[in-house]
Structure 1
């Protein structure tokens, strides 16, 4: 596994402005969401008190995305989360969620590793760029969640196909065709 980087330190000033300590500039919640989508961990602290505000701001990012209709969490899951906060004693929900997301990340990582190991083009010039494009494509297709496109949480193929699925299939076919053309061009370069 790749070496873990230090979290990106964001300081919140009394004016509630957020300051990126690496680039020495102010950032927005959307910028912070972008850092996280790119795989970067963040830590947000209050400059004056030193309090860790990371959880508060991450929840705010999720709430803003949900309010814009970018729903990821089904209402049932949100209800269960609220219940877990209201249940006396220790709840298993946080440990379950953490283990689930770790399993999801590991599965995505293993899938990408297997795809790379099976690829005989790995030693060709320009492969790293093509590999980065493939990874970006996989993230886009899976919504950054690590699940395979067209499958449910249990890994079973969805039985009902929508018009959107058909369009995605056509897009995938076009990408496969482009990849085959690139492979053909690369083989001719030898």
Structure 2
């Protein structure tokens, strides 16, 4: 049975990027300064990395990822509508805040897996065949996504109900 040392040795350490006070990012793996777009490319390549403040060592990875999202949202067709952003903001400080992150993470993971399966099944299709496939499958995909959204809404409602019951058991009401 492998011990904890073997498990940690098998997994390579995350790439460390240092953020300096002048807002420059230094990739310790390549010993070069990199841009935010290059950090985005690391994300797209599924590279493990951590961004640390060069002085304090504080983990800044989340703030850098949020900055990338902000730039992507401002650059073109945004993924997050104003309504979605407003609803996310409303969950901060709410009893459901802890559940919301896990809920979003699981749903995005499920969507990513569904996308990967679809991509794998369609990789041998020519652009013309792909267009034809999508035209034929559009109603089916719309139905699948509708069912997915409906199931997600039911799961969230169930979580909310359980949270309210738990709070009620402790004499706390919303």
Q: Does 1:101 align with 2:91?
A: no
Partner Cα distance (2:16, 2:145) in 1: 37
- Structure 1 counterpart of 2:26: 19
Q: Does 1:51 align with 2:58?
A: yes
| Structure 2 stretches lacking a partner, 5+ long | 1-9, 131-136, 147-174
Matches within 5 A, 1:1-150: 6-88=13-95, 90-111=97-118, 115=121, 134=123, 150=138
| 1:73-127 deviation line (CA, Å, top 9, x unaligned) | 12221111111114256432101011112212333444456x49xxxxxxxxxxx
- Structure 2 counterpart of 1:155: 145
RMSD of equivalent CA atoms: 3.3
Partner Cα distance (1:75, 1:154) in 2: 25
Q: Report the secondary structure of 2:110's partner residue.
A: helix
Q: Report the secondary structure of 2:145's partner residue.
A: coil
Shift in CA distance, 70/30, structure 1 to aligned 2, threshold 3 Å: farther
| 1:141-163 deviation line (CA, Å, top 9, x unaligned) | 9xxxxxxx95448436xxxxxxx
| Structure 1 stretches lacking a partner, 5+ long | 117-133, 142-148, 157-190
Partner Cα distance (1:62, 1:32) in 2: 12
Task: Kindly indicate whether structure 1 or structure 2 has the higher relative contact order, using CA contacts under 8 Å at least 6 residues apart.
Answer: 2
After TM superposition, give the deviation of residue 65 of structure 1 in Å: 1.4
How many residue pairs get aligned? The number is 126
Partner Cα distance (1:70, 1:42) in 2: 27
> Which structure 1 residue ranges, 4+ long, deviate > 6 Å from structure 2?
none
After TM superposition, give the deviation of residue 62 of structure 1 in Å: 0.6
